[in-house]
Chains A and B, each alone.
Chain A
């Protein structure tokens, strides 16, 4: 059961499914993780909320894929849905294939075996994920004893190895310390060490550096980079920070209002964004080269909260290129002008193909 063919899973919306064929994010050697048409609905007091709307993407072995978007785009919910971490009011449909297994068909017990051992998580705020009354060594050791069946001196040896791997100096001493004795950066390193304790195939890092200073962030990003080389772990990095994406990601999946709207290799995405939202996001980041042109690009309006999947582009209301088609027909993710998948009726042209001298500040 390794081939990962793609039987379609209906989303219940009754719409024709014209999604792209094959992996959205191309990857050599068959994907480690293949998400197809993943949808997540929450039942809330104010009614249904569609947080994730038929999301498809792949993560290959050793890959570093960034799932990018602003708050409310569904990126964290997507990550949590992978191993069934969502609360009881969530309804999940779609397919999640991981290392040949269909995670959606596993029991809670089966998912527990995957969680931590094969797919490990690191969250934004390490202090809430660490137990304040246990030493660092005890917490990492517990993972090893429980999942790896290690005991005694072997546990200790492995703990020291793990702390070394994530760049914590004086590892042996740190093992005796409690979380409050560590700085924010060190705590996040401990969290990564714990996540790596079982040599997971996939590390899901949800805004791992957002609460940290840049000089500390630089060190954590280095850890993410090197651990793939040293352990072969693939990383799904969830972030809103385009600088972080540019720094470590190899592939990028951009989400907006629950949908994947564009995905490409990192260089391609930054150089040739095809979706107007991606372009807008890139232009909203301060860039000294554009100071003279009258400020940062703004994206008017706000991200909609959807109760159902509209037969329209969800970005249409905020998009300068939108027309009637965008407001009445749902775009599918399909190869755009530069070849990478984009969900847009009027994608931006390939900058290399258009004649030079675009007018008035368009880059």
Chain B
């Protein structure tokens, strides 16, 4: 069995009546990149904050480096923080505007009392070079940098103490396309060179497909599907995953016009009172009576053992075909015969 960098079991996080995360099991192997995708309100960011214990956990366990940090006090966790770190969407609000870049990157080193002063200084320069910034930014302040440069600084800081797990919460969502590409490339390179495990949280399917080896799909506080990248994008099984992939437009006009979209009715229900049975049944075009009463468990299906929480997916991995049901529309109405949209995402 491979060593796990992160093992989350039965994780629950409630904010008063809001059931933001409601029983999640997820593991990330050492050196693995797992993408966590979901739409706003799915609970994916809350999960990221629970895993890094920026939020107290309501129930369940979060095992990092062999120790369960879910129930630990802040003081107990503090020395363990070397092993994991997090970067956020908006680097301008997560970097202290009064510190220089050098001081920002040195912060975790000072905090964990790593190395001597001169060691730390050398490490800061090394980290800045690693993220593609020259030593000359050491004495600059965050406001003097561009958005892409700031995100590089937050990566340098997050990785300075050599964590085994990095949680990246929408790290490229606030950036322009061309800058986004360079930050995604950077994360891929750093991950390859430094070998940390990464939980990559995003709503952007294309960047997950680029970066992650395995993908977990979250809906209204629970995981609905976890599979290897190629399998998830090539043959999504859960109806929500199918709808999500079909809704994301591909930057290829003729291909995009031929694709069929599964339009979901309604909105994501409130996490205060999630629907009984399958949480997705209120919007699922193929839901049956059983879906309205019985909660589907996340279980392995098919030859690969991909995990799916849907009553309509067989143990052999056969999934309900949503394309061809009444709720989808042919995109564009161009009169193209849509054909089967088997490869929803190329």
Contact = CB atoms under 8 A, between A and B. Distances in A.
Interface in B247-268: 247-254, 256, 261, 263-264, 267
A270 B253 contact: yes
B40 A247 contact: no
Given A242-B177, A295-B185, A286 B207 contact: yes
Contacts of A302: 146, 148, 179
Interface in B121-138: none
How many B residues touch the partner, as a band? Answer: 35 or more
B250 A243 contact: yes
A330 B333 CA distance: 42
Nearest to A184: B40
B332 A225 contact: yes
A219 B264 CA distance: 9
Nearest to A299: B178
A75 interface: no
Nearest to A229: B333
A311 interface: no
Interface of A: 70-71, 183-186, 213-219, 221-222, 225-226, 229, 240-247, 249, 266-267, 270, 280-282, 284-289, 291, 295-299, 302
A214 B244 contact: yes
B249 A296 contact: no
B263 A284 contact: no
A184 B178 CA distance: 27
Contact of B247 (A183, A215, A281, A298): A215
B180 A284 contact: yes
Given A213-B39, A245-B251, A266-B253, 16 more contacts: A184-B40, A214-B248, A215-B263, A218-B247, A218-B263, A222-B263, A240-B177, A246-B250, A246-B252, A246-B256, A285-B181, A285-B206, A286-B207, A289-B346, A296-B210, A298-B181
Contact of B329 (A184, A214, A222, A299): A222
Interface string B180-209: 111011001100000000000001011101
B327 to A, nearest CB: 12
Instruction: Report which residue of B148, B246, B251, B263 has the largest number of chain A beta carbons within 10 angstroms of its beta carbon.
Output: B251
A297 B253 CA distance: 20
A218 B252 contact: no
Interface string B318-346: 00000000000101110000000000001
B233 interface: yes
18 contacts: A70-B176, A213-B39, A213-B203, A214-B205, A218-B263, A240-B176, A244-B249, A247-B253, A247-B256, A247-B331, A270-B253, A281-B177, A285-B177, A285-B181, A295-B189, A298-B178, A298-B182, A298-B185
Contact of B184 (A218, A244, A266, A296): A296
A214 B242 CA distance: 12
A70 B178 contact: yes
A contacts with B: majority SS: helix
Nearest to A226: B333
A241 B176 CA distance: 10
A68 B254 CA distance: 19
A286 B187 CA distance: 14
Contact of B251 (A70, A215, A242, A296): A242
A305 B130 CA distance: 28
Contact of A215 (B207, B209, B243, B346): B243
A267 B254 contact: yes
A215 B244 contact: yes
B267 to A, nearest CB: 5
B248 A243 contact: yes
Nearest to A69: B176
B247 to A, nearest CB: 4
A214 B251 contact: no
B39 A215 contact: yes
A288 B209 contact: yes
Nearest to A219: B263
A188 to B, nearest CB: 12
B42 to A, nearest CB: 9
A307 to B, nearest CB: 19
Contacts of B346: 288-289
A226 B332 CA distance: 9
A280 B182 CA distance: 12
Nearest to B255: A246
Given A215-B243, A225-B332, A296-B181, A186 B251 contact: no
Contacts of B332: 225
A215 B327 CA distance: 13
Contacts of A186: 267
A351 to B, nearest CB: 15
B181 A284 contact: yes
Contacts of B148: 302
B267 A296 contact: no
A284 B146 CA distance: 18
Contacts of A285: 177, 181, 206, 251
Nearest to B240: A215
